[in-house]
Structures are given as C-alpha cells and as structure tokens.
C-alpha cells in the first residue's frame, strides 16, 4: 500500500444534520458512546491525520455543538450549513474556510464513533499509493438497503460511480458493496466536482457521491478501500442504534483489557469508558462501571455492583458495592460494601471506608478505619485512627461548611458527633455518644454527654399492664429467687 500517511491539508467533518430520530433536546452529536460524545470520537479519528486544517460543518443545534467543540477541541474551525441541501452542499460549506488550500481533503462524519484514526491513515495511504483523485471507503453488506451502491468499471479495478438507493436500477440494487461516505479528495478535483453538481436526482439534493462520476469522466483515478470491520462505517441515528454502538464499543474495550491481563468476570455487565486505565492483574467483578479518568492499579479488585467515576485506585485495593467519584483510594485500602465516596475523598494506604459510610472532601490517613454507618465530610483524619460506628462529622451549621481535624492514632467512639469546626489532637480519645464542640488536646479523653441516671419503678408507674411491665416483673422475681438461693 506504500508509506503510511503523513499530514493532510484538511479534514472536513460533516455534523450539520438535525438528528430528529433521536427525539432529544440535545444535539445528536453530543450523545455519548463509551463516555465520549459522538463528535469527540470523530475529531479524535481526524486528528490521527495531523491535518493542517480541521473543519466541522455545523447546522442544527449548532450553538450546542460549537460550545462543545470549544471545550474539547479548540483547534477546530466551524462553518455553518444554513440549509440542509445534501452532502455536496455540506462539503461545499466545509471548504469555505479552505478556499486556497491545495492537497488532500478528507471528508468524514460526526456520527460514526467506531471509525478509527488508523483506518483514516490507511485510506490516505491507499489514496497516495494509487495516485488517486478520489479514494473512498466501502464495505460489503449482506443487506445493503439504504446505502449508495458502488458501481465499478468493467475490469473491476476502479470505481465508476456511486448510485444512491433511490436512484438505483434493479440490477444496481443487487450490488452489496456500499459507500461508507468517507473519502479522500484532491482539493482541486473536489472543488471542480462540487461546482458540477446538480439536483437532478430522486431526492433533489446535491450529492457528494456525484464527484466520483465527475472524476472518472475526466479520466482520473478513483479507487476504494474495502473495510472488513463494518462497525466502523455504522452511523447513529436513533437511541436504538446508540445503544447498539455502546454495546459493541464496550465489547471491544473489555476484550482489549482482557488481552492485556485484566480479569473481567462478566463482560456483559461490565461497562467501561475508553478513557479509563486498568493495569494487569486487576479483577473486575459483575456489575462494575468504570467511567471518566478512572485508573486502577495492579492487583486491585473492583465490584461487584460498583461505579467509579474519575477515581484513582491503588495497588491491591478492594472496592465492593461502592459509588465513588473524584476520589483517591490508596494501595491496600478497603472500601465498601455500600459506601459512597463523594468528590475530594482521599483514603490512605491500608485504610478502610466501610459499610454504609459516606465521605466528602475528606482526607483519611493510612491505616485509618471508618468502618460502619458514618458520615465524614470536610475533614482531615490522620494515620492509624479509628472512627467508631455511627460517628457523624457535623460539617454544616446551616450557613457555612466548616472543617474538622482528627489527629494520628486517635479514637472516636461510636455514635459521637464532631461539631465543626473542631480539632481532636494526636493520641486523643472521644467517648462514645459524645457531642464534641470544643477542641480535644493530645492524650485527652473527651466526654461530652450527660451522666447516666437509672430511675427505679419507672415501668411500673408509667407502663403498667404492658408486656414490658410483665417482663420486668418476671425478671425481678427471677433475680430475687436466684439471690435467695
């Protein structure tokens, strides 16, 4: 095929369609596959060509699309297709910012998320190897209905024309090689070909495909590259197709990580974004979803039934039935089951955030344990400290959030409340059931509760005749009998 492609003069991404079948107030191009927008996938593939110019043709809901592009790809130039008058018109709009550009122009779509940059590089390489004016990507389908058919020259080598479904003769309709809608053009041929287009067809539109026939009519080379991976040519037009694309993309991601040494027990219930990083010898249990910039270090076990969004998990950590976002979990740490780690949580090496524990903006030191039924928010907890069952860090006074500090090797007893702002120093104890409102010094025991007082005869005077009263009487009688013996 010749040398691999280097930079091209320009890439035009067509993204102006209305996407009405999505039935969404959000632009079709902003719907996601594997955690990234359809348009983000298209731009990434285009960037593999290192184009001198990258143009996205926008139209319907263009404000959303332009705002999104400004966020994810500020190097992209946008141009507007005011009226939807076919792909030829869309590419003509895309060439407006490339008025004097010479060389190769690649045309692709914004809604084909499985199209890879490698495929585009191969397409450009084929274009150069053949000395083509136009090179197009094609696929062979069992059911080509709806697609433009590839009509070849008598010798079968070059492409003579592309005929849209509605314009096909019965014989042409039997052709199974279809146009994927992705091309490499020489810029001058593309400009001249666009000028020659007419709307003399079944849909009354300007067909970009007619540029192929134009080029052949001038005796120029037009070849195709047949793509065996048909998924790369599939677009997304409705939510059924979106779900199918997500399943296929996810299947490929799961397989990639499995082949790289990750144990994924149930691929059907494991969902991954293509931005995650998973080291070898990680185990993912059923019902796990890893999203955003999540990274999992070697030896960690995640799941079952766990969702991590932008979470860093250290070596050998265990995360069970947990929802976490924007958090860091240290090496050898343990989280869950049924834990909720909110943004800003940092758990040190060997630490534990246990059952029904919620944390937020909390830095929890190495070997510190928050094991049961607690809330720790806006807090710094040192190393080797134990936070007992049911402890609440009361960080909100009704107006502002305040911070709590608990030192190293301290102990906070069960059912205590630390009312922020407050500091419990290194080596201090807080007695169970205390409501701490003042700082606790090093080595001190804080007791902040009323002294216990037992009132004899209370049940007899207030609950006479109840089962409780009877139980108390029976227990008293048994106690007296035992005492007499």
Transcribe 228-277 into DSSP letters. S-GGGG----SHHHHHHHHHHHHHHHHHHHHHTT-EES-GGG-EE-TT-E
Residue at 247 is within a domain: no
Residue at 150 is within a domain: yes
End-of-domain residue from the set 199, 233, 267: 233
Write down the pLDDT at residue 480: 65
Residue at 483 is within a domain: no
Residue at 31 is within a domain: yes
Q: For residue 480, give both structure tokens.
A: 């007296």
Angstrom distance (rounded) from CA 33 to CA 291:
12
The CATH number for 74's domain is 3.90.550.10
Q: What is the DSSP letter of 189?
A: H
Query: Do 220 and 264 fall within a single domain?
Result: no
Query: Do 306 and 189 fall within a single domain?
Result: no
Residue at 481 is within a domain: no
Beta strands in 51-148 (DSSP E): 54-58, 77-80, 104-109, 134-140
Residue at 475 is within a domain: no
Q: Are 108 and 14 in contact (CB under 8 A)?
A: yes
pLDDT tens for 290-327 read 999 999 999 999 999 999 999 999 999 999 999 999 99
Token pair 């067909």: residue: 207
Determine the Cα angle at 67 with ends 62 and 73, to 5°: 110
DSSP H helices, 260-343, are none
Backbone phi, then psi, for 98, in 5-degree steps? Answer: -115, 40
Query: Do 207 and 264 fall within a single domain?
Result: no
Query: Do 161 and 284 fall within a single domain?
Result: no
Angstrom distance (rounded) from CA 434 to CA 450:
9
Angstrom distance (rounded) from CA 259 to CA 243:
24
Angstrom distance (rounded) from CA 157 to CA 286:
50
Edge-to-edge strand list for the sheet holding 386-387? 263-264, 283-284, 301-302, 318-319, 334-335, 352-355, 369-372, 386-387, 411-412, 429-430, 445-446
| β 263-264/411-412 pair status | unpaired
Low-confidence residues of the chain, pLDDT below 50?
1-3, 484
Query: Do 30 and 128 fall within a single domain?
Result: yes
Query: Do 169 and 35 fall within a single domain?
Result: yes
Q: For residue 475, give both structure tokens.
A: 């227990």
Query: Do 68 and 124 fall within a single domain?
Result: yes
CA distances to 5, 358, 376, 396, 412 from 433, in Å: 70, 19, 16, 19, 10
Angstrom distance (rounded) from CA 400 to CA 326:
22
Angstrom distance (rounded) from CA 96 to CA 402:
56
Backbone phi, then psi, for 159, in 5-degree steps? Answer: -90, 125
Q: For residue 362, give both structure tokens.
A: 């909390």
Q: Are 380 and 395 in contact (CB under 8 A)?
A: no
Query: Do 271 and 144 fall within a single domain?
Result: no
Query: Do 121 and 219 fall within a single domain?
Result: yes
Query: Do 204 and 147 fall within a single domain?
Result: yes
Residue at 482 is within a domain: no
Write down the pLDDT at residue 2: 43
Write down the pLDDT at residue 340: 98
Residue at 468 is within a domain: no
Distance between terminal CA atoms of the chain?
103
pLDDT tens for 101-111 read 999 999 999 99
What pTM value is reported for the model? 0.90
Domain count, the chain: 2
Query: Do 223 and 259 fall within a single domain?
Result: no
Query: Do 267 and 383 fall within a single domain?
Result: yes
What is the domain extent for residue 381?
255-446
Beta bridge partners of residue 57, listed in sequence order: 14, 79
Token pair 């008025």: residue: 99
Those residues whose C-beta lies under 8 Å from the C-beta of residue 185, and which sit 6 or more positions away, are: 104, 105, 106, 107, 133, 134, 193, 211
Tell me the catalytic residues.
372
Length of the chain: 485
The CATH number for 267's domain is 2.160.10.10
Q: What is the DSSP letter of 353?
A: E
Average pLDDT in the chain: 94
Q: For residue 259, give both structure tokens.
A: 């082949």
Please, what sign has the CA dihedral across residues 186, 137, 214, 148? negative
């Amino acid at each position: 095929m010749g040398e691999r492609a280097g930079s091209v003069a320009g890439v035009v991404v067509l993204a102006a369609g209305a996407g009405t079948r999505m039935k969404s107030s959000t632009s079709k191009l902003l719907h996601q596959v594997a955690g990234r927008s359809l348009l983000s996938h298209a731009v990434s593939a285009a960037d593999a060509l290192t184009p001198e110019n990258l143009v996205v043709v926008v139209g319907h809901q263009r404000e959303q699309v332009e705002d999104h592009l400004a966020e994810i790809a500020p190097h992209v130039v946008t141009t507007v297709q005011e009226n939807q008058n076919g792909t030829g018109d869309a590419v003509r709009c895309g060439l407006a910012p490339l008025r004097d550009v010479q060389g190769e122009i690649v045309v692709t779509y914004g809604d084909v998320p499985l199209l890879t940059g490698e495929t585009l590089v191969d397409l450009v390489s084929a274009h150069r190897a053949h000395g083509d004016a136009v090179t197009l990507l094609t696929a062979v389908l069992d059911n080509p209905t709806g697609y433009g058919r590839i009509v070849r020259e008598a010798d079968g080598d070059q492409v003579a024309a592309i005929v849209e479904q509605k314009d096909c003769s019965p014989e042409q309709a039997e052709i199974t090689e279809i146009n994927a809608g992705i091309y490499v053009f020489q810029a001058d041929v593309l400009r001249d070909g666009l000028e020659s287009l007419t709307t003399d067809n079944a849909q009354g539109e300007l067909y970009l495909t007619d540029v192929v026939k134009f080029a052949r009519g001038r005796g120029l080379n037009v070849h195709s590259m047949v793509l065996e991976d048909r998924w790369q040519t599939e677009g997304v037009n409705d939510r059924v197709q979106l779900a199918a694309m997500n399943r296929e993309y996810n299947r490929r991601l799961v397989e990639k990580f499995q082949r790289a040494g990750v144990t994924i027990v149930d691929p059907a219930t494991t969902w991954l974004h293509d931005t995650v990083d998973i080291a070898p010898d990680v185990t993912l249990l059923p019902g796990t979803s890893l999203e955003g910039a999540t990274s999992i270090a070697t030896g960690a076990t995640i799941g079952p039934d766990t969702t991590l969004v932008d979470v860093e998990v250290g070596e050998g950590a265990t995360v069970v039935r947990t929802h976490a976002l924007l958090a860091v979990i240290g090496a050898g740490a343990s989280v869950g089951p049924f834990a909720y780690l909110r943004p800003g949580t940092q758990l040190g090496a060997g630490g534990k955030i246990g059952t029904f524990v919620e944390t937020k903006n909390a830095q929890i030191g190495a070997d510190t344990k928050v094991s049961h039924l607690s809330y720790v928010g806006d807090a710094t907890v040192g190393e080797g400290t134990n936070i007992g069952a049911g402890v609440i860090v009361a960080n909100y006074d009704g107006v502002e959030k305040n911070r709590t500090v608990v030192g190293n090797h301290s102990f906070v007893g069960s059912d205590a409340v630390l009312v922020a702002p407050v500091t419990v120093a290194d080596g201090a104890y807080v007695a169970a059931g205390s409501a701490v409102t003042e700082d606790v010094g090093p080595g001190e025991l804080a007791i902040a509760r009323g002294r216990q007082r037992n009132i004899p005869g209370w049940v007899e005077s207030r609950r006479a005749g109840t089962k409780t009263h009877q139980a108390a009487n029976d227990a008293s009688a048994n106690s007296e009998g035992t005492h007499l013996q």
